[in-house]
Amino acid sequence: MPVQRGRMFFMNPGPTNIPDRVLRAMHRPALDFAQKEFKAIYEECAVGLKKVFKTEQIVLTYAASGHGAWESAVVNLCSPGDVVLVPETGHFSASWTQMATHYGLVIETVPFDWRSGVDPAAVEERLRADADHRIRAVLQVHNETSTGVAHPVARIRKAIDAAGHPALYLVDTISSLGSFDFRMDEWGVDVAVGGSQKGLMLPPGMCFTGVSRKALAASQSATLPREYWDWRRMLDGERQARFAGTAPVHLIFGLQESLKMIEEETLDGVFARHARLGAATRACVAAWSEGGGPELFCTNPDLVSNSVTAVQVPEGADANRLREVCGERFNVSLGGGLSRLNGRVFRIGHMGDLNEPMLLGALTAVEMGLDLAGIPHGKGGVEAAMRSLKSAVH
Ligand code: PLP
C-alpha cells in the first residue's frame, strides 16, 4: 500500500468521524467513577442524552456496542416463549430477530421489500389478527443502515394504537439518533436503542437504552435470565445510579463534549445539516443512475435516510471493487453491502461530524472510482450534488 497523506475521508455509516474536540476531551487521565467529579459529569450527560432521545423518562448507559442495547431490551422485557413481531426490513432487523430467537422467543415476521421499507398498514393488520394479544413486543429498526431506508416510527405507533394492541414498541435508533428526528416520548416508544459511534460522534463501545415507564413496569414480570443487562441493578427510582461494572469513563468524557457540540449547533441544526448532506448525496446518485448506472437502493422517496445512502451497482458490477479503488487510490472509506447485498451495494455514510466539502470530496472520489472500476454511470453526479448544496436553505 502506498503511503497516504492528509486525512482519510471516512464515509462509513458507523463508526463515524470523531471530532478533534471529542478526541481532546477523552485525552485525560481516568477518574474514579465512584467519585463526585465523575458523577457530576455523568449527571450532565444524562440530562443531555434525554434531550437527544426527546424523553423525560429513563435513558441507561452501558459499556457495549449497539448489540448490547438490543440485548438489554430483549432480556429485560421478555420471557421464554413470548411472541415478538418484527417488520423485516434489512440486515439489522434480521440480526435483532436472530438474537431474540436465541433467547427462545417466538418470532413473527412481517416481511417487507428491503428497498421500499415498512408499510404501517401491514403491521396494523398483523396486530389486529392477534386477537388474544400474544404478541409481547414489536421490534422496529428506525433507520436500516444496511439499506438507507428510514422507517416511519410515529406512523407505526399509530398503527399499533389503531389495532388496539398493547404490545411494547421497541425501536432501534442506532443510526438515526443525533442525525435526524426521533421523539421517544411523543412517538410512544417503549424502548429506544442507541449507540455511541454514529450521530453522537464517539468511538464505538457505549450504548444506550431509553426505557418508558410502561417498559419498566413490564420488566418486573419478565423472566429471561439477566445479569449484566438488568435495568434494576442500575436504577435508583428513575435515575441511573450505577453502571454495570466499570463505567466507560473516557467515553463519558467524550460524550460530555459531543453533547455540548450538539447543543451549540442545536438538534434542529444537526438535522438540517444531515438533510442537506443526504439530499446532495441522492442528487449525485440520481445523476450516476442515468443510462442504467448505480442507483439509489431505497425506492421509496418518503423513506430516504439522511444519515446513510445505499447505492446499488448495475448487474455484473462489483461494489466491493469500487470500495477498494476508492480506498487505495483516494483514501476514501465507504461502507459495503451487508448480507445478501454484499457486492451489490456500497454505502455512503453521511452522519456525524461531516460538512459539505468533506461530502463533495468523497463523492468526487467515488465518481472517479466508478470510472476506474469500469462501472458505467451517468455523468455530472458531483455537479448535481453541488447544485443541491448551493440551493439548500441554511
Ligand atoms: N442496529 C443498526 C441500525 C446498526 O446500524 C448497527 C450497526 O451498525 C447495529 C444495530 C449494531 O450495532 P453495533 O455494531 O454497535 O453492535
Report pLDDT digits (tens) over 126-185. 999 999 999 999 999 999 999 999 999 999 999 999 999 999 999 999 999 999 999 999
Q: Does 333 score more than 90 pLDDT?
A: yes
pLDDT at 250: 98
Identify the pLDDT of residue 50: 98
What is the percent of the chain with per-residue pLDDT over 90, rounded to a whole number? 98
Residue nearest to atom 8 of ligand 1 (CA): 14
* Reported confidence tier of residue 82, pLDDT bands at 50, 70, 90: very high
What atom in ligand 1 is closest to the CA of residue 13? 8
- The mean pLDDT of the chain is 97
| Residue-level pLDDT at 393 | 79
User: Could you read off the pLDDT of 271-306 as tens digits, one per residue?
Assistant: 999 999 999 999 999 999 999 999 999 999 999 999
Distance 13 CA to ligand 1 centre (A): 10
Is residue 125 predicted with pLDDT exceeding 80?
Answer: yes
Å from CA of 166 to ligand 1 middle: 27
Mean pLDDT of 321-346: 98
Q: Which of 88, 175, 251 to mutate to test the pocket of ligand 1 (most atoms within 8 A of CB)?
A: 175
Q: State yes or no: pLDDT of 3 exceeds 90.
A: no
Using the predicted structure, report yes or no on whether residue 57 has a pLDDT greater than 90: yes
Residue with the smallest CA separation from ligand 1 atom 5 is 145
CA 62 to ligand 1 centroid distance, Å: 15
pLDDT of residue 185: 98
Query: Distance, CA 66 to ligand 1 centroid (Å)?
Result: 5
User: What angle is formed at CA 313 by the lines to CA 307 and CA 314, rounded to 5 degrees?
Assistant: 150
Contacts of 301 by beta carbon, 8 Å cutoff, 6+ apart: none
pLDDT at 394 (0 to 100): 77
pLDDT for the residue 66: 98
Distance from the alpha carbon of residue 214 to the mean position of ligand 1, in angstroms: 25
> Residue 212: which pLDDT band, with cuts at 50, 70 and 90?
very high
pLDDT at 305: 98
Query: Ligand 1 test: best mutation among 99, 172, 174, most atoms within 8 Å of CB?
Result: 174
